Chain A
């Protein structure tokens, strides 16, 4: 099984420096890209079927295709690498940033070339201190050896690359909020249109791509679309970093073919449940995805298959719920997170989420009423797509609406037993 994204990465080992990275074939893809036209690079990516790994799965080449090209395009143009990774339960970009920073730098340069960007920013979350040091070093090495700066490798193409370490807030990961953060403003999302591809950073054409998306580019350029598709077990090309956390035997992160079934990830890689714990359900791709249950374990973890069972691939980082953990308590934790991180622009989001949090808190503490279930349900509709500026609110609705569906009995028990059954029996849920 091929693992292009992680072939240079082993736990506890220093990442390859520029010279070592070159020895394993590094920067060959960039050299190749520079002999192609930007349109040819875009075409190669289009053919590969690469879909964005930031959560929404938007086809990468299609996103790029909206950027104005040619001599009269507005300048400068920007490429932003989204390394904000704050989705609860998600820890995949960190591995790529820490483990092989040059792979990311090369991916960013190739993408920037494809849209003829003049400046690239890496927007990194503050908590990733080690990643910051390693990226800083990789960028400096790339400048030193002519992969960045004026006339890259003697070509006509020039690119500046800067690291921006965020001051921390989940909403900064949303691409238009991220642009405001980079401009030194409060990170409120922007209304769309205009789309960033046309009017992004400082009103100029801008692409925002996720770390994992960008890391795929050197490999697509080196080996071609056919090879990239052959890595996958589904229609979406390539491999995917899948993660698992919660009470599984072997929590971790694995690069596997896109479309690997949930069961295989959970049982073979994560080792199944820890002794004494039963599986109840999981969020397949971070906090803002819908629960799936034991009935869905044979579904392939790819964008379309997860959608067909009412959830999303999201970040591919699954969070496992066991039988000794209270689903209502878990939802309280999640909705508290979303309420706290709401930027406060849209009423259904800031007011709805704090109301939801309060209802769940009441339920946990024995003040729940039967009518609360309907109330919660109506909130999930209000938070749904189309009612708010950004996808934080619909994301917050996903675990709640599916939780209400699959764990209804547990909600009812909280109401009837006037408290949390997991806490009452003396042992709490936190053993």
Chain B
């Protein structure tokens, strides 16, 4: 079932469209925002709320790249493989990330922390090569810069687990 929060957010989007069907992509994004990805249950919940068949919704969900139908890690890395980034060193970065994380494109690290996905042009080609991690763009990348970024995420997490430990 949709949570109260999910339902409210979907209803806010629904006001922008003349029928339920049109809200389905926004609704899938809402569910993904809250649950990390869109499971079969997520499909069923949205389909029921919008009164469309799960099969129809499934065919829409699988069409779009940013609807995840498989679980993803805590952080999603989108590595740009657009042509400008390719010219400026995509292959080297790809190699480096694969070595660092021990996973290939489309995979998630065993500890569930990172998912590495390829992505088309991220719209920052004058600062190629580029990647996105969660909601942030990182540009003018080289292997050293990637190590810095990964380390900063690590520190961030250590800080937040420290915080939790202090919590009674």
Contacts and interface: CB of A to CB of B under 8 A. Distances in A.
Nearest to B132: A127
Contact of A169 (B18, B65, B121, B132): B65
Contacts of A166: 25, 64, 66
Interface of A: 85-91, 94, 121, 125-129, 162, 164-170, 181-187, 202, 243-247, 251-253, 283, 287, 317, 319-322, 325, 329-330, 333-334, 337, 340-341, 428, 430-431
Interface of B: 16-19, 21-26, 28-29, 59-60, 63-67, 78, 81-84, 86-92, 119-128, 132, 135
A162 B16 contact: yes
A181 B25 contact: yes
B51 to A, nearest CB: 12
Contacts of B18: 202
Contacts of B122: 127
Nearest to B78: A127
Given A243-B126, A340-B120, 5 more contacts: A165-B26, A166-B66, A183-B22, A184-B21, A187-B64
A89 B120 contact: no
Contacts of A253: 126
A90 B126 CA distance: 9
A244 B82 contact: no
A90 B125 contact: yes
Contacts of A165: 26, 29
Contact of B125 (A168, A183, A187, A317): A317
Contacts of A127: 78, 119, 122-123, 132
Contacts of A333: 81, 83, 86
Given A165-B29, A167-B66, A186-B60, A337 B83 contact: yes
**Nearest 8 pairs of A and B residues by beta carbon:** A167-B64, A251-B126, A245-B125, A245-B84, A168-B66, A162-B16, A88-B82, A88-B121
25 contacts: A85-B123, A89-B83, A91-B125, A91-B126, A121-B16, A125-B123, A126-B66, A127-B132, A164-B16, A167-B29, A167-B64, A168-B64, A182-B22, A184-B22, A184-B24, A245-B84, A246-B87, A252-B126, A287-B82, A319-B84, A319-B125, A330-B86, A337-B83, A337-B120, A431-B89
Given A245-B84, A246-B88, A330-B86, A88 B66 contact: no
Nearest to B93: A430
Nearest to A126: B66
Contacts of B123: 85-86, 90-91, 94, 125, 127-128
Contact of A167 (B22, B25, B87, B135): B25
Nearest to A252: B126
Given A164-B16, A165-B29, A89 B22 contact: no
Nearest to B56: A185
A203 to B, nearest CB: 11
A244 B123 CA distance: 12
A247 B88 contact: yes
A86 B120 contact: yes
Contacts of B126: 91, 243-245, 251-253
Contact of A88 (B26, B28, B83): B83
Contact of A321 (B16, B29, B78, B87): B87
Contact of B121 (A89, A129, A247): A89
A245 B90 CA distance: 14
A244 B18 CA distance: 41
Q: Which of A87, A181, A184, A334 has the most CB of B within 10 A?
A: A184
B135 A129 contact: yes
B68 to A, nearest CB: 10
B59 A245 contact: no
B87 A247 contact: yes
B83 A428 contact: no
A252 B18 CA distance: 41
A39 to B, nearest CB: 28
A168 B76 CA distance: 15
B50 to A, nearest CB: 9
Contact of B124 (A91, A167, A185, A430): A91
Contact of A337 (B21, B59, B82): B82
Nearest to A92: B123
Contacts of B121: 86-91
Contact of A319 (B64, B83, B92): B83
Contacts of B92: 428, 430
B60 A428 contact: no
Nearest to A125: B123
Contacts of A246: 84, 87-88
B3 to A, nearest CB: 21
A291 to B, nearest CB: 12
A325 B123 CA distance: 21
A111 to B, nearest CB: 19
A250 B72 CA distance: 37
A183 B121 CA distance: 25
